[in-house]
Structure 1
Amino acid sequence: MELLFIRHGQGEHTLDVPDSLHTSDPSLTFEGINQAKELKRNFSLTHSDVLIISPVRRTLQTAQIWSEDTACKKIVSPLVSPRMFPQNPEWVTLPCDQILTKDKIREDFPDFHVEEERAGEWWEKGINTLPDTEFQILAKDFLEWCKSFGNHRIYIVSHDGTITSYRQFITGRELSRKDFPKETGFLEVQYNR
C-alpha cells in the first residue's frame, strides 16, 4: 500500500519561534494558504481519493483548500495529530498542538467526517506524548485501517513529527529532525506488512 504523507502549510505558530509556539489554535498564514493552493496544482484529487487529516486547524485548512470542489473522502483522525519527535517524557503538549474538539471541527469544517470508531480515547489524549512502544502499537493498527480503503489513494495531512514517527515505524530506519518534511512537503511511503 502506498501512502502519501503531506505536511500542513505554514502556520502562525512558526512565525516567531519559540514564543509563537504558545499560540492556541493557530491558522495558516497567507504563505500557508498559498502553499495549500500549490498542493492543489501539484496533486489533483479525485472523488475516489481519501484524505486523513489531523484535527488541528492548520491541517484542516490545508486539506480544505487543497480539496475544494472535490468530493473526495475527508476523514479527521487524532491518530495523525501532532506528535513530538523525538519523544521526551519531560516535554508537554504546547498550545499550538492542542487538538480541536469534535464539535468545533463539525462546526468549522462541516464537509469533513470526524472518525470516532477507531480513534475513541485519542480524541482526549492525542498522540503527542505517547511513548514510542505504545505509538508502535497504535501505528500498526492505524496502517491496517488504511489498508481497508483498498485501492484508493490515501493522503495523510499531518505534522512534521507525526510524519517522521510513522515513517520511522514503516521503514524501520532511525530518523532525526533533519528528516522532517518542509511545509506542504510530501513523502511517499510503501507499507506492505
Structure 2
Amino acid sequence: MKLIFIRHGQGEHTLDLPGSLQLNDPGLTLHGQSQAAELRKKFNVTEEDIIIASPVRRTLETASIFSNEVRCSKVASPLVSPRMFPQKPEWNTLPCDTLLTKCQIRDDFPSFSFDMEQSNELWEEGINTMEEEEFRKLAIGFMEWCRDQGKKRVFIVSHDGTITSYRQLLSGTTFTRDDFLKETGWIEMECPDSFSTLKR
C-alpha cells in the first residue's frame, strides 16, 4: 500500500512572517488554491483511494480542491495535524496551528468523516508538542489503521513538520528542517506490512 504525503498549499499565515503566524484559522491564499488544483495533474484520485487530512482549514481546503469532489473516503484526523519539528520543549502551539472542532469541520467540510477512534484530548491538543515516544506509538497505530483500510493508495494532506516526523519514523533516517517539502510538495512511501521494526 502506498502512503502519499502531501504538504498543503500556500496559507494566509505565511504572507507576513512572523506576525502572520498569529492568525487564527488561516485558509489558503489564491495561489495556494491554484497549487492544490495543480495536484490533480499529478494524481488521478479515484473512489478507490482514501484521503486523510489534518483538521485545519488550509489542509482541508487543499484536500477538497485536490480531490475535485471525487466520492472517495475522506477523513479528518488530529494524528496528521501540525507537529513541531524538531521538538522544542520551550515552544508552544501557534494560533495558526489550532485545530478546528468537529462541529466546524461538519459545517464547513461535510464530505469529511471522523472514522478513527480518538480522544477528546487529542482533538483539543493535537500532536504539535507531543513527547516523541507517545507520538511514535500513536503514529504506528495510525499507519496500522491506514493499512487495514485495504486501499492501494492513502493520501495524507498535512504539514511540513508532521510529514517529516512520519518520514523519519518510516525510514529510520534522521531528517532536518532542510528536508521539509515545499508547498504542495509530495513524497510516496511504502506502508510496512509489519510495524515490529518501528516499535521499541
Report the CA distance between 1:2 and its aligned residue.
1.8
2:89 is matched with 89
Q: Which runs of 5+ in 1 are unaligned?
A: none
Once the two structures are superposed, residues 144-171 of structure 1 have per-residue CA deviations (whole angstroms, 9 ceiling, x without a partner) of 1111111331000000000000000111
Letter in 1 for 2:4: L
Report the CA distance between 1:179 and its aligned residue.
0.7
Identity of aligned residues (%): 58
Letter in 2 for 1:148: D
1:172 aligns with 2:172: yes
2:147 is matched with 147
2:188 is matched with 188
Secondary structure at the counterpart of residue 164 of structure 1 = helix
Whether the 8 Å contact between 1:51 and 1:75 is mirrored in structure 2 is: yes
List aligned pairs for 1:8-27, cutoff 5 A.
8-27=8-27
Q: Which runs of 5+ in 2 are unaligned?
A: 195-200
Superposition RMSD in Å: 1.1
Once the two structures are superposed, residues 101-152 of structure 1 have per-residue CA deviations (whole angstroms, 9 ceiling, x without a partner) of 0000000011111245245531012000001111111111111111111133
Separation in structure 1 between the aligned mates of residue 116 and residue 163 of structure 2, nearest angstrom:
21
Separation in structure 2 between the aligned mates of residue 73 and residue 152 of structure 1, nearest angstrom:
13
Once the two structures are superposed, residues 16-64 of structure 1 have per-residue CA deviations (whole angstroms, 9 ceiling, x without a partner) of 1111111110010011000010011221100111000000000000011
Q: Assess, with a 3 A threshold, how the Cα gap between structure 1 residues 168 and 49 changes in structure 2: closer, same or farther.
A: same
Q: Assess, with a 3 A threshold, how the Cα gap between structure 1 residues 121 and 60 changes in structure 2: closer, same or farther.
A: same
1:133 aligns with 2:136: no
> Please, what TM-score do these two structures have when normalized by structure 2?
0.93
1:163 aligns with 2:138: no
List aligned pairs for 1:21-170, cutoff 5 A.
21-118=21-118, 120-170=120-170
> Please, what TM-score do these two structures have when normalized by structure 1?
0.96
Separation in structure 2 between the aligned mates of residue 115 and residue 23 of structure 1, nearest angstrom:
29
**Bigger CA drift: 120-129 or 92-101?**
120-129
**Bigger CA drift: 32-41 or 116-125?**
116-125
